[in-house]
Amino acid sequence: MEPLILLGLVLGLMFLGVPIAVALGLSSTLIIAYFSNDSVSSVAQQLFTASQNYTLLAIPYFILASSFMSTGGVARRIIRFAVAVVGHIRGGLAIAAVLACMLFAALSGSSPATVVAIGTLAISGMVQVGYSKSFAAGIIANAGTLGILIPPSIVMVVYAASVNVSVGRMFMAGVVPGLLAGAMLMGLIYIVARMKGLPAEPRKSVRQIIDAGKEAGFGLFLIVIILGGIYGGVFTPTEAAAVAAVYSFWTALFVYRDMGPMKGVSWFEPADPEEGRIGFSGAIYGTSLIITWFAVFFLLAPSVMAPWLTIVSGLALGLAGALYYVRLRGGEIGANAGSCFAGGAAIFARAVRLSLRHTLGTLFHEDTRKVLVDSAKVTVMLMFIIVNALLFAHVLTAERVPQIITDWMIGIGFNWFTFLIAVNVLLLIGGQFMEPSGLLLIVAPVVFPIAIQLGVDPIHLGIIMVVNMEIGMITPPIGLNLFVTSGITGMSLVQVVKAAMPFVAVLFLFLIMVTYIPALSTALPNAMFGPEIVQR
């Protein structure tokens, strides 16, 4: 009886317009106070325990990193790089928008942030060259959902915390499905582009692609820091999130200088000699080679080479790369390597002095303060939902709801195949009305024991749930990506829904593939770490 009363309270409060977090927390508190054997003090204890969850500490850091990356001009550079790579294909701007969403998803971990950052620039660009606004909006609304599937993902962190599985495994499990979903969207765009005769951009030269990649390189290197650091054992996912936040702050304000007191200040001045610019660029490229070499062999493949050999070979590679670039470019203007590096050192020293002079101003600048405040607002909202959802999950567990449902489903003959159908239906319906993190925290503790009993891999189940959350973000009435896309395009919500629906069909096909081809989710993490071990 208590579970039915709890469900009735939650649904009743939601239909009355009470915020979901309050509905979950208030219903759980009333059940504990009047029907449960738990004392009322357990409410405070559970809320405190939830707020102290170490895994969930990654969420505010990822939100902060995403905010700096969205504000700091990284999205513009990623779009330019994506257009340079695939823009020459028929429908290339639209395909580039999907690729840009995939790349930005690997930095932000958030679908709405991906839609805002990429959509604000990409949609207007597509409209200018002849795409309809509805077609462009539909692409961005759907491609933006990859923000919670391609690692790092805030929703994956929430799932891992709710059922106590490895965040690192979840991140690795999202790689192949994320790439597949992006490829399927690109394939549909290409077919539509061929049918409608959509334009293609002029093919970029190799030099232009390299230049675009160099410009976006500092932002994209965050992917290496997060994933390489986690899987190389340098830091935990929570520590990786903290490092990502600091790196994003440094990149946005000191490297790209798209915000803060140094906004618009170029690294080079008109009076800088050409050989100095060449030497500075050569040193940067050499340093990048060293960092990339260390990332590959220290973090991703530490057993391939001895540490001392990795250090020596990395330094040698960086020095050789810098010298090659300086000799190549310096030879074009008749300058020797020594003068180039001396001029580059002077430029670097000036940049360091400028950064040191503006360090305090950067920390307290209006742009920095705005990013921090906006990130704090999102964090408070999300964490309030999460702690109340965890309290709700505690009440469900205390009332033995998962065990009751497990016994009932097994008793009537459910197997893993029919169980996954039921999970998909439940999540697709729930995703239309609830925020993904809250829904996951309610449903995951209930279906997880059933999945384990029926032999479903917990990592596979997590990816299925994340894909369902993707679809929920672009289905009315509460699809968050729909509202965000409507806000940045000025289109009505109905227009955005109509624009997004053809691409939603692709994601439904993708959901079926992920559900019934477990290897898409489990092959990569199992190959790296072995199968997930769960204590029943």
Residue with the two structure tokens 């489990």? 522
**Rounded Cα distance, 323 and 286, in Å:** 8
pLDDT in tens, 471-496: 988 888 778 888 888 888 888 888 89
Please state the domain count of the chain: 1
**Residue 181 placed within a domain:** no
pLDDT in tens, 250-262: 888 888 888 888 8
Which pLDDT score is estimated for 96?
92
Cβ–Cβ under 8 Å, residues 107 and 223: yes
**Residue 434 placed within a domain:** no
Rg (CA), the chain: 25
Query: Where residue 530 falls among pLDDT bands split at 50, 70, 90?
Result: confident
Q: What is the DSSP string of 132-188?
A: -HHHHHHHHHHHGGGGGTSSS-HHHHHHHHHHT--HHHHHHHTHHHHHHHHHHHHHH
Which pLDDT score is estimated for 301?
57
**Residue 204 placed within a domain:** no
- When the pLDDT of each residue in the chain is averaged and rounded to a whole number, the result is 85
Higher pLDDT, 116 or 291: 116
Which pLDDT score is estimated for 508?
93
**Residue 329 placed within a domain:** yes
Residue 397 scores a pLDDT above 70: yes
Residue 464 scores a pLDDT above 90: yes
Higher pLDDT, 535 or 210: 210
Residue 475 region by backbone torsions, left for phi larger than 0, else alpha for psi between -120 and 50, else beta: beta
* Amino acid letter, 219: G
Range of the domain at 314: 261-364
**Rounded Cα distance, 496 and 265, in Å:** 39
**Residue 238 placed within a domain:** no
**Rounded Cα distance, 391 and 445, in Å:** 12
Cβ–Cβ under 8 Å, residues 138 and 500: yes
Handedness of CA 96, 487, 375, 443 (dihedral sign): negative
Residue 468: CB atoms within 10 Å: 27
Structure token pair of residue 299: 């973090």
354-369: average pLDDT? 87
Query: Where residue 509 falls among pLDDT bands split at 50, 70, 90?
Result: very high
Find the DSSP H helices in 16-149. 20-34, 41-51, 58-71, 74-86, 92-108, 111-128, 133-143
> Which residues are CB-neighbours of 110 under 8 A, at least 6 positions away?
62, 63, 66, 147, 148, 154
Cβ–Cβ under 8 Å, residues 73 and 252: yes
**Rounded Cα distance, 176 and 191, in Å:** 23
With CA atoms as reference, report the closest residue to 220 among 112, 330, 320, 100. 100
Structure token pair of residue 177: 């499905």
DSSP state of 37: S
With CA atoms as reference, report the closest residue to 162 among 519, 427, 356, 449. 449
Of the ranges 108-122, 185-199, 463-477, which one carries the lowest mean pLDDT score?
108-122
**Residue 120 placed within a domain:** no
**Rounded Cα distance, 212 and 205, in Å:** 11
pLDDT in tens, 33-54: 887 777 777 778 777 777 777 7
**Residue 344 placed within a domain:** yes
Cβ–Cβ under 8 Å, residues 231 and 300: yes
Handedness of CA 342, 343, 348, 349 (dihedral sign): positive
**Residue 219 placed within a domain:** no
**Rounded Cα distance, 499 and 486, in Å:** 11
